[in-house]
Structure 1
Amino acid sequence: MNKIKTMAIVALVALSTVSYAQKKVINSNQLPANAQTFIKNNFASNQITSTIEEKENLLSKEYQVILNNGTKIEFDKSGNWEEVDGHNNAIPLKFVPKSIQNYVTKSFPNTHIVKIKKSSRKFEVEISNGLELEFNKKGQFTKIDD
């Protein structure tokens, strides 16, 4: 009987550690209002080709939107943008902090921003010549990433 209890406990522990990640296609009108506004304000000329809701666990939810020009936008559960990837095409700059725009324009003329990712601590920016730049949360340049 103890073996059965032990096996049951092991099975429960194993099941509880299995990833809960679920992805499902949703309609773009099911995105949080912040995400819908962001897309409308920055990508009005593009069509949404797919919208995916991803649940990592019971509490975490993210959204991914792919546009007809190949741009991929990731949002947190509240609809705040986390990453915009133009896949080597220039992304709109309206939402990119001015200090980052100015640094790229001044330091790397004839390039454009093709990807930006933000976290609570920093911005990671990829420009069209392949360089990856890092900025602090205030938008001040910190380093070129390897």
Structure 2
Amino acid sequence: MNKIKTIAITALVALSTIVCAQKKVINSNQLPANAQTFIKNNFAINQISSTIEEQENLFSKEYKVILNNGTEIEFDKSGNWEEVDGQKTAIPLKIVPRNIQNYVAKSFPNTQIVKIKKSLRKYEVEISNGLELEFNKKGQFTKIDD
């Protein structure tokens, strides 16, 4: 019985290795509806340069959209944005929580938010002077990241 388990586990590992990190170019209309809506509401749809679907493993799929100006947007499998990277260009403020906008405007005047990444517990924000700031899920400042 242990031999069967070992073979099954080996086959599963081999299969997941084959599937790992496969990338393919797709049409923007193949993105999940949430991602399409996010782009439509925050960026001009005709700005899309390329759309990539990435299969991380058997259970995880992500999407990356690259705009003509170099901005990169990453979405999870459901089309919820995870990261918007303006590549040193300001990103739309309406996607940044108000608390974070207010903190950056007050603490770092004359800077712009050029990147935002969200996870389950925090937001990471890069501003135009190169600083990386961390905020909790409520948008409260926690630290400057090294």
Corresponding residue SS for 2:104: helix
**Larger-Rg structure:** 1
Q: 1:31 to 1:44 in 2, by over 3 A?
A: same
More helix by share: 2
Give the match for residue 36 of structure 2.
36
Give the match for residue 100 of structure 1.
100
Corresponding residue SS for 2:94: coil
Tell me the matched-pair count: 141
Q: 1:19 to 1:134 in 2, by over 3 A?
A: farther
Give the match for residue 54 of structure 1.
54
Counterpart AA for 1:79 = G
Q: 1:13 to 1:97 in 2, by over 3 A?
A: closer
Compute the TM-score of the two structures, normalised by the length of structure 1.
0.89
Pair 1:79 & 2:79 matched: yes
Give the match for residue 24 of structure 2.
24
**Is the 8 Å Cα contact of residues 16 and 58 (structure 2) preserved in structure 1?**
no
Give the whole-Å Cα distance in 2 for the aligned partners of 1:45 and 1:63.
16
Give the match for residue 69 of structure 1.
69
Counterpart AA for 1:90 = A
Give the match for residue 121 of structure 1.
121
Compute the TM-score of the two structures, normalised by the length of structure 2.
0.89
* Shift of residue 44, structure 1, vs aligned partner: 1.9
Give the match for residue 14 of structure 2.
15
**Is the 8 Å Cα contact of residues 16 and 57 (structure 2) preserved in structure 1?**
no
Q: 1:14 to 1:46 in 2, by over 3 A?
A: closer
Identity of aligned residues (%): 80
Give the whole-Å Cα distance in 2 for the aligned partners of 1:38 and 1:48.
13
Give the whole-Å Cα distance in 2 for the aligned partners of 1:80 and 1:13.
29
Counterpart AA for 2:73 = I
Give the match for residue 112 of structure 2.
112
Q: 1:109 to 1:45 in 2, by over 3 A?
A: farther
Deviation string 1:85-133 (CA, Å, 9 cap, x unpaired) is 0000000011110000000000000000000000000000000000000
Give the whole-Å Cα distance in 1 for the aligned partners of 2:49 and 2:13.
37
Corresponding residue SS for 2:87: coil
Corresponding residue SS for 1:101: helix
